[in-house]
Chains A and B, each alone.
Chain A
Amino acid sequence: AQSVTQLDSQVPVFEEAPVELRCNYSSSVSVYLFWYVQYPNQGLQLLLKYLSGSTLVKGINGFEAEFNKSQTSFHLRKPSVHISDTAEYFCAVSLVDDKIIFGKGTRLHILP
């Protein structure tokens, strides 16, 4: 069965430091990959997506992610975080039947 694993439930990072949020997936077929962000008391919004082509994908707010097929990973990175990046981040995969499966999320805490 397809699944998405976000290894870290919480990640504390000092402001202006780099961050990497990890995501691994399992699927026997090709997938499309997404990262969503959820700010407090809001719905989810798309950060970036990988469909095909270049394995390095750039998104909004300075985030980027790299698709690694051999490691079945799609880690999210930002070189320098800000207080405003405090949120929960969800990795997701889109399956052949259009169903979207989400990971459990990673809470990013920005420390002053």
Chain B
Amino acid sequence: NAGVMQNPRHLVRRRGQEARLRCSPMKGHSHVYWYRQLPEEGLKFMVYLQKENIIDESGMPKERFSAEFPKEGPSILRIQQVVRGDSAAYFCASSGGQRNTEAFFGQGTRLTVV
């Protein structure tokens, strides 16, 4: 799972600022997932993307959150006008897109909103 790279590992933002979280999937993987982990709440699905397409964003808050996975470059999770409640660990995972292959996770980005 060391192949999925997330940066930054730690991000501190003041309320109202924007947070941009990056995820480079494993080589050859075209599917990316984003999850949010809050203390004592486990992993919550946010969004599932393939190259240039959002497949499922049912877990994304309706406002301030957006995600993209362009043809070139990493996947980006963007949070606009952050609030204290956005503080969490955000994990990215990638897979080859077939159901019998597992997802490989990055180390996560820990966002702290002050």
Contacts and interface: CB of A to CB of B under 8 A. Distances in A.
Contact of B42 (A32, A45, A102): A102
Interface residues of A, number: 25
A5 B91 CA distance: 20
Contacts of B106: 43
A51 interface: yes
Given A43-B106, A44-B105, A98 B95 contact: yes
6 contacts: A46-B102, A90-B43, A94-B100, A98-B97, A98-B98, A105-B42
Contacts of A104: 41-43
Contacts of A95: 99
Nearest to B50: A98
Contacts of A34: 102
A51 B98 CA distance: 12
B31 A102 contact: no
Interface in A74-99: 90, 94-99
A103 B44 CA distance: 9
A10 to B, nearest CB: 10
A49 B108 CA distance: 22
A98 B99 CA distance: 5
Nearest to B1: A45
Interface in B43-102: 43-45, 48, 55-56, 91, 93, 95, 97-100, 102
A42 interface: yes
B103 interface: yes
Contact of A51 (B31, B48, B100, B103): B100
Nearest to B108: A43
A44 B89 CA distance: 12
A32 B108 CA distance: 24
Nearest to A34: B102
Contact of B1 (A44, A101, A105): A44
B56 A99 contact: yes
Given A43-B91, A43-B105, A97 B42 contact: no
Given A32-B99, A43-B108, A104-B42, A98 B1 contact: no
